[in-house]
């Protein structure tokens, strides 16, 4: 397990309703299991109680992993991904769907002579307490406010010129767009704003094969497409697509 970077900002919970539902589910299954044990009789009641108990523990375990990942594990994963980008420190980096700045601000700390630009529509369904002023406060708390720029924008219509970024990153954001065609539009925008020789790193829970195809169709070379589990076992649901613009 990689060392967790110290964070001074407050980064909320991704899709906050998800762990709430998991915990509620687990608690209900546990209550049903206890009720079976209490009121049921015989081997079948015991088997039902055991099955419900196992289901309950499974749900609570998954909720625990989810909470660990969103509060801590994500930062360890992105520390590694940002290391692999081998930033020189003077790049212009764009984070699409930056939310409260988990990745954007870690990137900004590696860009003493560069600029970290974040765009978002600030959906509180996708991240708790999501708001531009929260990200701005986090940037100040992390000591990088002077090199961070935030814009309210949809990733399908980026308000930037062609070839204006050295690096584009995105964490857990593109899957929030519904419709394959709309997600493809976001990827075309990411490719458009990237300079020749520029790098992309996208980590997401779904659709990464389609992201890679779209980036390839835009003339980028896929350098990695893999699960982020393994060393980061708690991130097994997450996949990486990395590419370079030829
Ligand atoms: C799960 S959060 C992840 C935030 C951040 N990247 C992180 O890893 O902490 C997903 C983010 O995508 C943003 N988002 C969803 N749809 C978007 C869109 N069409 N354009 C820009 N941002 C979007 C949400 O507002 C939210 O901030």
pLDDT tens column, 59-93: 999 999 999 999 999 999 999 999 999 999 999 99
Output the pLDDT for position 60.
Answer: 95
Distance 67 CA to ligand 1 centre (A): 18
pLDDT, tens digit, 9 for 90 and up, residues 188-211: 999 999 999 999 999 999 999 999
Q: Which atom of ligand 1 is nearest to the CA of 124?
A: 25
Compute the distance between CA of residue 180 and CA of residue 182 in angstroms, rounded to an integer. Answer: 5
Q: Where are the domains of the chain?
A: 17-69, 85-245
Helix 102-109 vs helix 74-84: angle between axes, to the nearest 10 degrees?
A: 40
Please give the CATH topology (third level) of the domain spanning 85-245. Rossmann fold (3.40.50)
Ligand 1 proximity of 176 Cβ (cutoff 6 Å): yes
Q: Which secondary structure element, helix H or strand E, spans residue 23, and what is its range?
A: helix 17-39
CA distance 106 to 193: 21
pLDDT of residue 230: 85
Residue 2 has pLDDT above 60, yes or no: no
Tokens of 196: 């020749």
pLDDT tens digits, one per residue of 123-175: 999 999 999 999 999 999 999 999 999 999 999 999 999 999 999 999 999 99
Higher pLDDT pick, 9 / 41: 9
The dihedrals phi and psi of 224, each to the nearest 5 degrees, come to: -155, 140
Cβ of 132 closer than 6 Å to ligand 1, yes or no, is no
Q: What span, in angstroms and rounded, lies between the C-alpha atoms of 56 and 51?
A: 9
**Which whole number is the average pLDDT over 216-237?**
94
pLDDT grade for 5, boundaries at 50, 70 and 90: confident
- Residue in 80, 147, 106, 74 with CA at minimum distance from that of residue 8: 106
DSSP notation for 68-110: HIIIIIHHHHHHHHHHHTT--S--EEEEET-TTSHHHHHHHHT
Per-residue model confidence (pLDDT) at position 42: 87
Q: Which atom of ligand 1 is nearest to the CA of 130?
A: 27
* pTM of the shown model: 0.93
User: What distance, in Å, lies between the first and last C-alpha atoms of the chain?
Assistant: 34
Minimal-distance CA residue to ligand 1 atom 13: 97
Which pLDDT score is estimated for 3? Answer: 61
Report pLDDT for 1: 44
Is the pLDDT score of 20 beyond 60?
Answer: yes
- Whether the Cβ atoms of residue 144 and residue 105 lie closer than 8 Å to each other: yes
Q: How far is the CA of 120 from the centre of ligand 1 (A)?
A: 6
Distance CA 33, CA 27 (A): 10
Which is it for strands 165-171 and 194-204: parallel, antiparallel or unpaired?
parallel
Cβ neighbours for 9, distance < 8 A, ≥ 6 positions apart: 100, 101, 105, 137, 138, 139, 141, 142
């Amino acid at each position: 397990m990689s060392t967790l970077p110290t964070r001074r900002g407050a980064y909320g919970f991704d899709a906050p309703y998800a762990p709430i539902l998991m915990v509620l589910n687990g608690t209900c299954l546990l209550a049903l299991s206890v009720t079976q044990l209490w009121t049921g009789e015989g081997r079948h009641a015991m088997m039902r109680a055991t099955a419900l108990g196992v289901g309950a523990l499974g749900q609570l375990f998954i909720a625990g992993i989810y909470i660990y990942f969103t509060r801590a594990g994500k930062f360890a994963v992105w520390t590694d991904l940002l290391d692999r980008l081998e930033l020189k420190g003077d790049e212009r980096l764009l984070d699409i769907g930056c939310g409260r700045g988990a990745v954007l601000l870690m990137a900004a700390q590696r860009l003493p002579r560069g600029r970290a630009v974040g765009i978002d529509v600030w959906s509180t369904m996708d991240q708790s307490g999501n708001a531009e002023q929260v990200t701005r406060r986090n940037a100040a708390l992390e000591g990088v406010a002077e090199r961070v720029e935030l814009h309210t924008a949809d990733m399908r219509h980026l308000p930037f010129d062609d070839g204006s970024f050295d690096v584009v990153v995105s964490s857990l954001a593109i899957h929030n767009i519904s419709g394959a065609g709309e997600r493809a539009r976001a990827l075309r925008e990411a490719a458009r704003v990237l300079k020749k020789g520029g790098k992309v790193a996208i980590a997401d829970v779904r659709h990464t094969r389609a992201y890679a195809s779209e980036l390839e169709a835009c003339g980028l070379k896929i350098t990695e497409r893999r699960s982020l589990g393994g060393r980061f076992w708690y991130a097994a649901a997450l996949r990486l697509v990395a590419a370079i613009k030829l």
